[in-house]
């Protein structure tokens, strides 16, 4: 069975997603780090996934770092050093961007439904009262008609 990912479940591109998900487990939670240096220290091989050398190019890691900063997963501490934000720590806990994205989408949907219920509870209660009144009136009419 082939898994289809929604575009929201991929971190910018498939290649960047593979690189990011491979490095997530090496992210230090409370220390500054450089993504390229981390990738070199981890010595991960992407040859099965990425064949064009993108994983060896420092510009790839600069782009991924910028995307992480833009999406509030990390903040820039030094010229080349970054540190995880609370959102970044959540990403590490989930272990991959797709899992993180699914959980965030689920939370957003739940929040939207909760807000809808909070905004429309008065309307829902009025409808309940009206339905109760209509049933009461109809039952009274039916009982009077049967007598």
What does pLDDT average to over the chain? 85
Query: Which pLDDT belongs to residue 52?
Result: 63
The CATH class for the domain spanning 10-95 reads mainly alpha
Cα-flanking dihedrals φ and ψ of residue 83, to 5°?
A: -140, 145
- Mean pLDDT over residues 80-92, rounded? 95
Share of the chain above pLDDT 70, in %: 87
Query: Which pLDDT belongs to residue 7?
Result: 47
In the chain the first and final C-alpha atoms are separated, in Å, by 67
Rounded Cα distance between 31 and 37, Å, is 14
* Domain spans, the chain: 10-95, 96-147
Query: Which pLDDT belongs to residue 47?
Result: 61
- What is the Cβ-side half-sphere exposure of residue 53, based on CA atoms within 13 angstroms? 3
Share of the chain above pLDDT 90, in %: 51
Query: Which pLDDT belongs to residue 123?
Result: 84
Name residues whose C-beta falls within 8 Å of residue 11's C-beta, 6 or more positions apart in sequence. Answer: 17, 20, 21, 64, 67, 97
Residue 119 to residues 47, 106, 123, 129, 131, Cα–Cα distance (Å): 52, 20, 9, 18, 20
Confidence of residue 51 (pLDDT cuts 50, 70, 90): low
């Amino acid at each position: 069975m082939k898994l289809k990912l929604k575009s929201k479940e991929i971190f910018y591109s498939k290649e960047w997603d593979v690189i990011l998900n491979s490095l997530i487990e090496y992210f230090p939670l409370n220390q500054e780090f450089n993504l390229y240096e981390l990738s070199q220290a981890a010595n991960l091989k992407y040859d099965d996934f990425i064949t064009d050398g993108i994983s060896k190019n420092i510009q790839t890691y600069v782009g991924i770092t910028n995307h992480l900063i833009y999406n509030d997963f990390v903040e820039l501490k030094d010229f080349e050093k970054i540190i995880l934000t609370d959102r970044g720590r959540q990403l590490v806990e989930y272990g991959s961007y797709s899992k993180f994205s699914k959980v965030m989408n689920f939370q957003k949907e739940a929040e939207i439904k909760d807000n809808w219920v909070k905004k429309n509870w008065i309307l829902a209660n009025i409808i309940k009262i009206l339905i109760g009144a209509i049933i009461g009136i109809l039952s009274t009419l039916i009982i009077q008609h049967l007598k």
